[in-house]
Amino acid sequence: MAEQGKTMVRLHDLRVTFKAPGKTIRAVSGVDLEVAEGEVVALIGESGSGKSVTLRSIMRLHPESRTRIEGGLEVDGRDVLAMTGRELSPLRGDTVAMIFQEPLLALDPVYTVGAQIAETIRRHRKVSAAEARAQALALFEKVRIPSPARRLDAYPHEMSGGMRQRAMIALALSCSPKVLLADEPTTALDATVQIQILLLLRELQRELGLSIVFVTHDIGAAVEVADRIAVMYAGRIVEQGPAAQLLAQPRHPYTMSLLQSRSHGALQKGQRLQTIPGAPPDLSNLPPGCAFAPRCSYAVAACQAQQPAELRLDAQHAVRCLRAQELQFAEVANAAAAAAAISNDLFDPTKETA
């Protein structure tokens, strides 16, 4: 979908199903997504829409015995689904690295953070212990940890939440990946620290030429940081496009509902997406038509009967809605402005306390 640069991640009709007792859960039902070199893409959508499952598939992190992944999945031109276990380990770390929501789960509590990063570097490259430590120090400087030399010798619990996130980003960068996946890197943090971390990711992306896919619940953050936004619903990307365009001119009723839910009521910094009336579908029993139709005030009979094909509005903007040609949501312009205003309010680099 991206126009310039090499495609670093290519998902084509990606389907991920989990076997559970007596049922099959269709967590991802045909995702098409391309991420170019140097591009930052945000995945948004309600809880359970398949954002984490999609991200984890890119590194094949799902339990093999209960998971079926089908379709096309390429990273840096290589077919990830065809990789053997031996080929997967260099993929994880050297090519793609992931940062998780809770750094305490990614960092080992009994080693200093510096030791963990140095060890990871030495596992991937033949360098001396002193050289690995020097590289770890350089990474701490890159992620702007204050007093980096001293903090290399800190244990994870001795760091604040924001600092731990930075340390985890340093760990993720330690093998110079080309693609960084970030699964809600910031929800555990204070709103101000969240945007700081996301802006740091954006800056690192520019400096290192990384491609980044990140999951967020904060549309303001997505617009601030991402080039492109992909909106997921029930395991599908229902709309994707350049961040500003998608916000100003959403064409899927679900995207519009998300924006509206974001702009109603008291606006609070970093608030999570509010719920839209109705519940998401049962992923073990998906309807034949558009999965959003039961909750959609624009749905017509045909929506319940058939799956909408992807409609390309232009080279970058695509939508899956039978009525996308006729629906225009002018009233959302206000919501878009509101979301952007909150996110600007968050952007104050002097405020980081963590």
Ligand X SMILES: Nc1ncnc2c1ncn2[C@@H]1O[C@H](COP(=O)(O)OP(=O)(O)OP(=O)(O)O)[C@@H](O)[C@H]1O
Q: What is the nearest approach in angstroms of Mg ion to the Cβ of residue 4? A: 30
Assign residue 22 a region (left: φ > 0; alpha: ψ between -120 and 50; beta: otherwise). Answer: left
Q: Residue written as tokens 């390309």?
A: 312
Distances in Å between the Cα of 93 and the Cα atoms of 179, 207, 305, 348, 354 are 9, 19, 43, 32, 27
CB distance 44 to 229 below 8 Å: yes
Choice between 137 and 221, CB closer to ligand X: 221
Q: Which does 53 bind (CB under 5 to 8 A by kind): Mg ion, ligand X, none?
A: ligand X
Output 53 or 322, the one with its CB closest to ligand X: 53
Nearest approach, Cβ of 57 to ligand X (angstroms)?
9
Cα three-residue angle 318-203-155, rounded to 5 degrees? 120
- Residue 25 touches which of ligand X, Mg ion, none (Cβ within 5-8 Å per kind): ligand X
Residues 14-53: x where in contact with ligand X by CB under 6 A, - otherwise, as a string: ----x-x----x-x-----------------x-xxxxxxx
- Which of the stretches 9-17, 44-52, 204-212, 321-329 binds Mg ion when contact is defined by CB under 5 A? 44-52
Site for Mg ion in 48-67 (CB under 5 A): 52
Residue in 298, 279, 299 with CA at minimum distance from that of residue 289: 299
Do 318 and 1 touch, CB atoms closer than 8 A?
yes
Asked if 215 contacts 184 with a C-beta cutoff of 8 angstroms, the reply is: yes
The mark string for 230-269 relative to ligand X (x by CB under 6 A, - otherwise) is ----------------------------------------
**Minimum distance from CB of 52 to ligand X (Å)?**
3
Q: What is the DSSP string of 21-85?
A: TTEEEEEEEEEEEEEETT-EEEEE-STTSSHHHHHHHHTT-S-GGGEEEEEEEEETTEEGGG--H
At its nearest, how many Å lie between ligand X and the CB of residue 63? 6
Which of 75, 136, 231, 283 contacts ligand X by CB under 6 A? 283
Residues near ligand X (CB under 6 A) are: 18, 20, 25, 27, 45, 47-53, 283
Q: What is the contact surface with Mg ion in residues (CB under 5 A)?
A: 52
